[in-house]
Amino acid sequence: MTTQYTPILKLALPVEGELDGSWGDVVNDNITSMVEQAVAGRVVVNTWSSNSHTLTTANGTTAEARCAMLSLTDSGTQLSAAGTVICPALSKIYIVQNAAGQIITVKTASGSGIAIPNGATSFVFCDGTNVLECLTNIVALTTTGNITVGGTISGNGSGLTTLNGSNISSGTVAAARVATLNQNTTGSSSSCTGNAATATILANARTIGGVSFNGSANINLPGVNSAGNQNTTGASGSVATADESSDTTCFITFATAASGNLPMKTGTNLLFNSSSGVVTSTDYTVTSDRRLKKNINDMVIDWDRFKQYRTVTHEWIEGRKGVFSGLIAQEVQAIDPTLIEENKNSGMLSVNYNKIVPELIKTIQDLNARLEALENK
């Protein structure tokens, strides 16, 4: 009768009358040695084909799949990526030590398995279909040494009652996960960075626009939200401008007082044509109040000087179009420099016609007096 073998460990099952004279050898070689291999046997797996290795099985003799411990190596550098170890689809416990240099997944041919990181040792078992972890729930764990976690610790953390944060040398913890970061706290904040949700006073007050601010109360900035002038060294009063010399209608802005925190205003009755350089107003006056004057005397016309003024007609090279009349500033400057204004930026000269108007009035008056005198003779 043919010897039978157990389905999992492949141990010999001799029947009565079988193996006459060789029973002892069978017990020693095919049973006892196999049981020892299953309980304490260790096999080194170091041959790979296409990043995979299938554990050997055999009846009544040593085999890789029967061993309790699997030591995975790659002495021949045959692994080029993560690999797999295929075990029989039979119930069995394995202790797997991975030193192959790659992540190795222990699984059955058609089932799922457990990925074991390089350098890790795992305790797994096959349930006849899939390979699973032996330890998934530890009720209590006491250790006096260090615990190294290569993966992820999950759970609600309700059992984590004492944690010495001073021993955490690196990593980050989200503020939402630590309750005290969202509550009022006391003590030194010199090592804290980021936003404090409930901070009320700055450790070191800062100055904003010349006003001290420590976060305990709102501040008023003169010239911003209260009367006064802002004490700054920057160019806060500057306005960026652009050359708009082609615009025919520009509104001249002005303020309603000489000083203060005032908005700028404008009006349609005061316009500037930047294309022609003409300022248009519905009226124009010159201050002439007696209360502002002293040493008032009758004007005497210097006829010799006045007769030197040459009136001309002309056209402008740029800007205004048409024929205009007036004086030449350089000619007037040679006769009476007090009538000339010079632009300090461009050096261009202009005639103060306002000063000439009184002379014209006086001239007309004098001529009229002479005419009346002649008529009365």
Q: Residue 249: which pLDDT band, with cuts at 50, 70 and 90?
A: confident
49 domain-assigned: yes
In sequence order, what are the residues at sequence separation of 6 or more whose Cβ sits closer than 8 angstroms to the Cβ of residue 121?
A: 95, 96, 97, 98
Domain count, the chain: 4
- State the pLDDT at residue 320: 76
Q: Say if CB 47 and CB 71 are below 8 A apart.
A: no
For residue 185, is pLDDT > 60?
A: no
Q: d(Cα 274, Cα 244) in Å, to the nearest integer?
A: 7
Give 214-226 pLDDT, tens digit per residue: 888 888 877 676 6
Whether residues 13 and 123 fall in one domain: yes
Which residue has 């009544």 as its token pair?
A: 60
Instruction: Give the span between the Cα atoms of 20 and 34, in whole angstroms.
Output: 21
- Among 134-143, 175-184, 269-278, the minimum mean pLDDT is found in 175-184
Note whether 269 and 345 are same-domain residues: no
Domain residues for 255?
247-284
If pLDDT is split at 50, 70 and 90, which confidence band does 25 have?
low
In-domain check, residue 354? yes
Maximum pairwise Cα distance, the chain: 183
Considering the domain architecture, whether residues 309 and 360 belong to the same structural domain is answered as yes
Helices (H), 295-352: 303-306, 329-335
22 with 117, same domain: the answer is: yes
Q: pLDDT value at position 63? A: 87
Residue 220 shares a structural domain with residue 260: no
Measured CA to CA, the distance from residue 119 to residue 150 in angstroms comes to: 10
Tell me the one-letter amino acid at 109.
A
Find where tokens 């007609």 sit: 313
CA dist 57 and 65 (Å) reads 6
Instruction: Supply φ then ψ for residue 241, to 5 degrees.
Output: -125, 165
Cβ-contact 71, 17 below 8 angstroms: no
Average pLDDT, the chain: 79
Render pLDDT for 191-207 as a digit per residue (tens, 0 to 9). Answer: 555 555 566 788 788 88
Q: What is the pLDDT of residues 251-288, one digit of tens each?
A: 888 887 877 777 778 888 888 877 777 788 877 788 88
The per-residue DSSP string of 178-234 comes to SGGGGS---S--TT--S--TT--S-SS-EEETTEEE-SSS----BTTTBSS----SS
Distance CA 65, CA 94 (A): 9
273 and 350 fall within a common domain: no
| pLDDT tens string 143-159 | 777 777 766 777 666 66
